[in-house]
Amino acid sequence: MNRLLKIARAATPGKNTQFRKDKYGSSGIRSFLRDVLAMANAPVEGPRYIIVGADYDAQGHKRLNSIDADDFSGKPSYQSLANEYIEPSVRIRYKPVSIEGKRIGVFEIGDCQDRPYMMRIDYSEKLRRGDAYIRTKDSALKMGRRQLAELFERKFRDSVSADDIEIGFPGEIIHKELQVNCCDLSQLPSAEASKKLDELFAVRNQSKKTGSTTVMARLTHARLFGADDPYVDRSPDDLMKEMKELRHKYRDHDNHFLFESRAEHVQMVVYNQGQEPIVDASLSLIMPNHNAFYVAATLPKVPRDDGFADRTPDEIAEYPSVSLKDDSVQVTSKIGDIPIGEPIDVFVAPLRLCAGKDLGGKRFGIRYALHGQNLRSPAKGKLRLIFRK
């Protein structure tokens, strides 16, 4: 019997265990954030658990309520929600277990030693930036000024100053700027294929207007795609549909172009100049998004035979967590303990990015925040990417 199943079966409500009858889902995000804050701030040692799909009646009997499989699909991504709204970062794992034929969900929240955990930004009018909750025996209570002051005072007494931390790009010295090469994005496989279809579409339209045969279309097709690719008489509508599907069709080819053959591999380092190691550190980055700026959300697939093959689970796990927003790119990396007196790499697998020529001569600011269990406050600062013309 696995560990989470044992916990779901045997645990009772308390400061480190909460039971909830229904899934959170997209409509319960506020409750999810509040409950995670409360569990993370609970005065207990070790992991904490929220068990979804089980509760207790008035007589103390456990009742089970099966949770849909879709709740474990990553939509919503509970870890991403925690990363976006809660600081310091909280590690969450969500897994299904089966009890008496019912599918139950178990959230495991990693050991939380960096209290207080608070809302980083507003979620709603009822859950605002700076709000913090704490778990009592059977409920989540909003923390007041006195409780927060006590936690901050305790944290300050046993902590490392952010002034002792230096973060940047590696080299003989730690650099605050990084030069990034730009490439021609018109050479993307999907863009090359689109140009060919555009030309074929123009020839096909011209043949239709003049009432000529398809000889020109056949010759154009042979020139663009080669004699080995058989000609198919496609209507303008067929060609338009094919153009719309190009990005999906060439997704793996484009990703290999962007994040393998033309990629910039970006590493960062953290240098601890304090008097003690930083415990359980993690670094978060926020940089602008742009239609000519690409950051890999995961490592690209590997070319194999006539197609592409998935990376190994270990390779995928080594890459940092990347969240692509409309106006920003957010990156999170778990570092672990940072010793004294030597620069430590931030990423196990370097961050991969690619910039188009439209960015040549421009600069992007990168805001960073380093969290750690014994950091007095997050070490924050700004770095720059400089795009070569």
pLDDT digits (tens, 9 = 90+) for 161-171: 888 999 999 99
User: Which tens digit of pLDDT belongs to each residue from 122-148?
Assistant: 999 999 999 999 998 778 899 998 888
> In whole numbers, what is the pLDDT of the chain averaged over residues?
86
User: Which tens digit of pLDDT belongs to each residue from 268-312?
Assistant: 999 999 888 998 999 999 999 999 999 999 999 999 988 899 999
- Name the pLDDT band for 112 (thresholds 50, 70, 90): confident
- Name the pLDDT band for 12 (thresholds 50, 70, 90): confident
**Domains identified in the chain and CATH numbers:** 3-157 (3.30.950), 162-183+263-387 (2.60.40.10), 189-249 (no CATH)
Q: With helix as H, strand as E and coil as C, how does 107-153 read?
A: EEECCCCCCCCEECCCCECCECCCCCEEECCCCEEECCHHHHHHHHH
- In this predicted structure, the answer to whether residue 220 has a pLDDT above a threshold of 60 is no
pLDDT on residue 215? 52
d(CA 74, CA 70): 8
Mean pLDDT within 362-372: 95
Place of tokens 């007095």: 376
pLDDT on residue 222? 47
CB 294 within 8 A of CB 266: no
Greatest distance between any 2 Cα atoms in the chain: 86
- In this predicted structure, the answer to whether residue 245 has a pLDDT above a threshold of 90 is no
When computed from its CA atoms, the radius of gyration of the chain, rounded to whole angstroms, is 26
In our burial notation (b when 16+ CB lie closer than 10 A, e otherwise), range 228-261 reads eeeeeebeeeebeebeeebeeebebbbbbbbbbe
User: Which tens digit of pLDDT belongs to each residue from 173-216?
Assistant: 999 999 999 999 999 888 887 777 666 566 665 555 544 445 54
Higher pLDDT, 231 or 48: 48
Least confident of 100-104, 154-158, 316-320, 385-389: 154-158
- In this predicted structure, the answer to whether residue 114 has a pLDDT above a threshold of 60 is yes
d(CA 152, CA 154): 5
User: Which tens digit of pLDDT belongs to each residue from 250-271?
Assistant: 899 999 999 999 999 999 999 9
Cα-Cα-Cα-Cα torsion 74, 80, 82, 87, nearest 10 degrees, comes to 170
Q: With helix as H, strand as E and coil as C, how does 252-294 read?
A: HHHHHHHHHHCCEEECCEEEECCCCCEEEEEEEEEEECECCEE
Q: What are phi and psi of 133, to 5 degrees?
A: -125, 160
d(CA 315, CA 320): 11
